[in-house]
């Protein structure tokens, strides 16, 4: 009889106690129910991004990194990667891009091509370790991203650019 009473008491008391433990986000502490950081970031203003990265330069490996590109796609951005300048020029002329990511050393050439593009994408230049010494180049092209930055820094910068472009996109559509 005593065992029956203890079992009935556990059945009556355990469910309410369990519900209390799940209040205010505590359910994320349960095993297997956590939220991964990579999946937590979703762009409010997803954009169409064109990456220009020469395959011959070792330094452009940061923006050619498959994990970096995966993070951009998971955030909701459409992504195109081009490694040839001629194809890059064709893509700018025929496609509709919001952001162009490129090495700051390519900035003079990219600026000229972006200015002639019909979609008028915003160029974002990435500074690589060899360019860290050239402060004038970074300041001239407003280089706010570094190859050593974490992906969340790139995502934040892209999101702020897309947010500034949002009124322009709404008036076109």
pLDDT digits (tens, 9 = 90+) for 116-162: 999 899 999 888 766 556 666 666 766 677 777 788 888 888 888 88
Quick one: pLDDT at residue 142? Answer: 66
Work out how many domains the chain is built from and give that number. Answer: 1
- 112 part of a folded domain: yes
pTM for this predicted structure: 0.68
Structural domain containing residue 52: 45-167
Q: In what order do the strands lie in the sheet with 78-82?
A: 78-82, 48-52, 99-103, 122-127, 145-146
Q: Please spell the DSSP secondary structure of 77-129, one letter per residue.
A: -EEEEE--HHHHHHHHHHS--SEEEEEGGGHHHHHHHHHH-TT-PEEEEEE-G
Answer whether residue 27 shows pLDDT above 50. Answer: yes
pLDDT at 173: 52
How far is residue 84's CA from residue 106's CA, in Å, rounded to a whole number?
12
156 domain residue, yes or no: yes
Give the pLDDT band of residue 13 (cuts 50, 70, 90): low
**Is 64 part of any domain?**
yes
Domain annotation covers residue 27: no
| pLDDT of the residue at 168 | 64
For residue 145, what is the domain's CATH number? 3.40.50.2300
In a domain, 26, yes or no: no
Q: Is residue 22 part of a domain?
A: no
Q: What is the pLDDT of residue 37?
A: 47
Chain segment 39-81, per-residue pLDDT in tens: 556 778 888 999 998 876 666 677 888 888 888 899 899 999 9
pLDDT digits (tens, 9 = 90+) for 73-93: 998 999 999 999 899 999 999
| pLDDT in the model for residue 79 | 92
């Amino acid at each position: 009889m005593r065992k029956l009473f203890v079992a009935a008491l556990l059945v009556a008391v355990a469910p309410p106690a369990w519900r209390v433990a799940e209040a205010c986000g505590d359910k994320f502490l349960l095993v297997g129910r956590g939220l991964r950081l990579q999946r937590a970031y979703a762009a409010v203003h997803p954009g169409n991004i064109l990456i220009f990265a020469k395959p011959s330069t070792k330094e452009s490996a940061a923006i050619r990194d498959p994990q970096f590109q995966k993070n951009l796609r998971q955030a909701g951005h459409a992504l195109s990667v081009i490694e040839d300048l001629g194809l890059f020029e064709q893509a700018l002329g025929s496609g509709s891009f919001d952001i162009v990511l490129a090495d700051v050393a390519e900035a003079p050439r990219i600026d000229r091509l972006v200015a002639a593009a019909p979609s008028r994408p915003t160029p974002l230049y990435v500074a690589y370790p060899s360019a860290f010494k050239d402060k004038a180049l970074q300041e001239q092209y407003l280089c706010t991203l570094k190859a050593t930055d974490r992906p969340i820094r790139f995502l934040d910068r892209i999101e702020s650019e897309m947010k500034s472009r949002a009124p322009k996109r709404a008036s076109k559509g």
